[in-house]
Amino acid sequence: MTRYLIRPAQATLEDATLLLQAERFSLGDSDYSPEEALAALQRPEHRAYLALWGSEPAGFCSCLRIWDGLIPCLEIDMLGVVSAHRGRGLGTALIRTALNDARSEGISRARALVHVGNRASLRAFERAGMRPEGPARALHVYAIQGFAPVPYLPTGWQVEERETRREGFTPRLACALRDNAGSPLAEAEVLEVHTLAYRGFWVEALRASAPRGLHVLLRHLVERAKALRLDEVGYLAPPSEEVGFSADDLAFAGFPIVGTYDRLREAPR
């Protein structure tokens, strides 16, 4: 590891270009231009790290500072190591660097997602002290294809919103759907995330008393995302018995399953 330099990525076009090079030769998920990646780096909640072999990018890690419920948390969003540099502990070193920096900023909790079957990534996180939390979960994503508004609220229904912005963290939005009698039908808690690969809403919690309320509230989130020119709305669903609706209910609303993931957490110290 002594031959590698791991350092924070700066909000410069040069580092944005290096991050994209590392991403495209490791993950290949982002179609961003350097200017778009720079816009993400400039956001106060974003943290990114570069692993360099000389002047060449060997790996990267990008993170978001979020509120996990009432607790400040580091979301390790993307981790990639260029194939020629794998098997040398570089992924674990990047994660540890991100975790140590978060602790120095007073953030003692971290979380991440790893695709089921990605054993190399899981090992890197486990060596850095993170472990899977509960059973694997299905990731449902609505991909926004156009921004024209679509009517969706039944007559008399309304959505109440409360936005929370804390300096240096992702914006958080709470939504509550009520019928014309004021009765609660569905609720959601959502983060607005800007990563190196997409801009979107990430649904942290979702509750509904019936499928119709679920579908209307999900459509509200989609319409809200469209108004903000975001790319997608994602939801990592817990087992259906915990929330009272099924994967079929989500698919009917335009949220198909795009993969199955383990959620990893680092316990508070």
Mean pLDDT of the chain: 95
* Percent residues over pLDDT 70 in the chain: 98
Determine the pLDDT at residue 7. 98
Please write the tens of the pLDDT for every residue from 154-179.
999 999 999 999 999 999 999 999 99
Instruction: Summarize pLDDT for 30-53 with one digit per residue, the tens.
Output: 999 999 999 999 999 999 999 999
Confidence of residue 251 (pLDDT cuts 50, 70, 90): very high
Alpha helical stretches, state H, 67-205: 90-104, 119-127
Confidence class for position 267, pLDDT limits 50, 70, 90: low
The average pLDDT across 92-112 equals 96
Asked if pLDDT for residue 255 goes beyond 80, the answer is yes
pLDDT confidence of residue 2: 54
Residue type, 80: G
Domain extent at residue 158: 140-265
CB atoms within 10 A of CB 32: 21
| Backbone angle region of 29, left / alpha / beta, with phi > 0 → left and psi within -120 to 50 → alpha | alpha
- H/E stretch holding 18 reads helix 13-24
Q: State whether 171 and 151 are in the same domain.
A: yes
Query: pLDDT value at position 266?
Result: 85
* Residues 83 and 176 grouped into a single domain: no
* Count of H-run helices and E-run strands, the chain: 7, 13
Among candidate residues 67, 102, 132, the one where a domain is terminated:
132
Domain count, the chain: 2
Does residue 242 carry a pLDDT above 80? Answer: no
Is 260 in the same domain as 189?
yes
pLDDT, tens digit, 9 for 90 and up, residues 47-96: 999 999 999 999 999 999 999 988 999 999 999 999 999 999 999 999 99
Q: What is the mean pLDDT of residues 190-219?
A: 96
Residue whose C-alpha is closest to residue 224's, from 208, 244, 202, 204: 202
Q: Give the integer Cα–Cα distance in Å for 260 and 262.
A: 7
- Could you give the count of Cα atoms lying within 13 Å of 173 in the half-sphere of its Cβ? 17
pLDDT above 90: percentage of residues in the chain: 92
DSSP assignment of 38-63 equals HHHHTSTTEEEEEEEETTEEEEEEEE
Residue-level pLDDT at 244: 80
Once rounded to an integer, what is the mean pLDDT over residues 5-14? Answer: 98
The residues with which 233 forms a beta bridge, in sequence order, are 142, 201
Which residues, 6 or more positions from 180, have their beta carbon under 8 angstroms from its beta carbon? Answer: 155, 156, 157
Quote the pTM value.
0.94
More confident residue, 69 or 19: 19
Could you tell me if 230 and 253 lie in one domain? Answer: yes
Indicate whether 251 and 208 sit together in one domain: yes
Domain with residue 196: its CATH number is 3.40.630.30
- Domain boundary among the residues 69, 104, 132 is at 132
Site of tokens 């990731």? 139
How are beta strands 199-208 and 232-237 bridged, if at all?
parallel
At which of 132, 165, 180 does a domain end?
A: 132
Q: How far apart are CA 269 and CA 260, in angstroms?
A: 29
pLDDT at 3: 86
Q: What is the mean pLDDT of residues 133-151?
A: 95
Residue 224 CA to residue 142 CA, distance in Å, equals: 13
Do residues 152 and 228 both lie within one domain? yes
Indicate if 186 and 118 belong to the same structural domain.
no
**pLDDT at residue 269, as a whole number:** 55
